[in-house]
Chain A
Amino acid sequence: MTASPCADRVLLIQAELDGELDAAGSAALQTHLEGCAGCRAVQADLRALSAGLRREAPRHPAPERLRTALAAHLEPPPRPALRVVRHPALAFGAGAALAAGVAAGVALAVLPVPPATLDDQAVADHIRALQPGHLTDVESSDRHMVRPWFDGRIDYAPPVRDFAAAGFPLIGGRLDYLGGRPVAALVYRRDRHLIDLYVWPATGEAAPVPRTRNGYAVVGWRAGGMAFLAVSDLEAAQLLAFARLWEGGA
């Protein structure tokens, strides 16, 4: 930091960077920054540092043996195959322990699943995900962080896009379990409503089709070698608008 900032502004600059400044505060700071090179330099330094840390400081994942040991200790398994930990590769484990103990992935995979059931499963997944701690495994509005998170957790790379500009910011992703397989779930927000978007490989193209299940809006479509299924308590028309954003090119 070569230029000298205003001592009474640095915490405001930092708060703005950290998303902790309200709109009025941000506007006032903006006005100040326009006329103050020292404060602008600090802001640039802080931004570069933040980006650098997020990119380069390792976020250490828990060793698998610790996870396994804790899961066994904390959750004595009456049905071992089901009561595994959620994350990372086995996210469907806890998922499978859902409502009335859906009888294991095996059963789901063996039984033919009619298309209507997939909607019901997706709605059930969505409702379960709203419980504390279940919504996201990776919390980030940065698609360049969300997309690589799925590497090694599923055998395909889901397209991850942020529609913050259109009022549907990306807030994270998680692994979920749908139609007998682990799938990528991307989480978006629209005002106070959450949208789960399930994505998995599929052939063919199909335009978005809206419907409702148990009061939840569901929209499914296919494009670019992927099947998409969006679920939300939004109005169906709004969820359809969200689906249409995906047609606007990568």
Chain B
Amino acid sequence: MAGDGPSFAKLALPHLDAAYNLARWLLRDPVAAEDVVQDAMLRGLTYFASFRGTNPRAWLLQIVRNAAHDWLAASARAREVPLVIRHDEDDIAVNEPADPSDDPETALSRRQDRAALAMALAALPVELRECLVLRELEEMSYRDIAQVTGVPVGTVMSRLWRARRALVRRTELPA
């Protein structure tokens, strides 16, 4: 691995946060996400010899995405995970900075808005959720999202639209 070209570790580890974030949003379970990322990294190491692309991030996320879908397919939990996401709520509460200008009521309502949006995203069907996470949180192009999710660009566009339409309806965003 300490060869002349960039090693797999050098290529892949800078994208570890993106890999974990995707797995976390797909699986909605921090422990499973860790397992899947580890599994995906080992798969990546195996496939690395045949990697000829120029976009290691999309390549790695494609492996993570496939590993996550394998996990979902293999696990009965895929259909049973409740829509109330306990871990994500915890994160939201912890990460919420106290804004001194907010009175307690405003702060509470902001926290609820935030939780509502994150939970609405978590509740989307997985094929819509993955497109929106890759686009909004990872800021990927349609082409790269198509590569990661293994569907044509046109499908990415329609899935993004369906995902967004669902969230706009749920969260009553101000115009």
Contact = CB atoms under 8 A, between A and B. Distances in A.
Interface of A: 1, 10-11, 14-15, 18-20, 41, 44-46, 48-50, 52-54, 56-63, 66-67, 69-71, 73-76, 78, 85-87, 94, 131-134, 137, 139-140
Contacts of B12: 74
Contact of B91 (A60, A78, A85, A86): A60
Interface of B: 1-2, 6-17, 19-21, 24-25, 30, 33-34, 37-38, 41-42, 45, 54-57, 88, 91-92, 95, 113-114, 117-118, 121, 132-133, 135-137, 139, 141-142, 157-158, 160-161, 164-165, 167-169, 171, 173-175
A52 B34 CA distance: 27
A53 B121 contact: yes
Given A48-B175, A54-B136, A74-B45, A62 B17 contact: yes
Nearest to B122: A57
A48 B173 contact: yes
Nearest to A45: B168
A75 B45 CA distance: 11
Given A14-B157, A49-B167, A57-B121, A132 B11 contact: yes
Given A18-B160, A56-B117, 16 more contacts: A48-B173, A52-B117, A58-B92, A60-B20, A62-B19, A66-B37, A67-B13, A70-B41, A71-B13, A74-B8, A74-B13, A74-B41, A75-B1, A75-B7, A133-B6, A137-B14
B56 A133 contact: yes
B161 A67 contact: no
A9 to B, nearest CB: 11
Given A1-B168, A132-B6, A58 B45 contact: no
A58 B118 contact: yes
Given A11-B161, A132-B11, A45 B38 contact: no
A84 to B, nearest CB: 10
A49 B118 CA distance: 11
B34 A63 contact: yes
Contacts of A49: 164, 167-168, 171, 173
Nearest to B22: A60
Nearest to A131: B6
Contact of A52 (B21, B160, B173): B173
Given A85-B13, A86-B13, A132 B56 contact: yes
Contacts of A134: 14
6 contacts: A10-B161, A14-B164, A52-B171, A53-B132, A53-B136, A63-B30
A137 B14 CA distance: 7
A85 B133 CA distance: 25
B157 A74 contact: no
Q: Which of B19, B33, B141, B165 has the most CB of A within 10 A?
A: B165
A48 B169 CA distance: 12
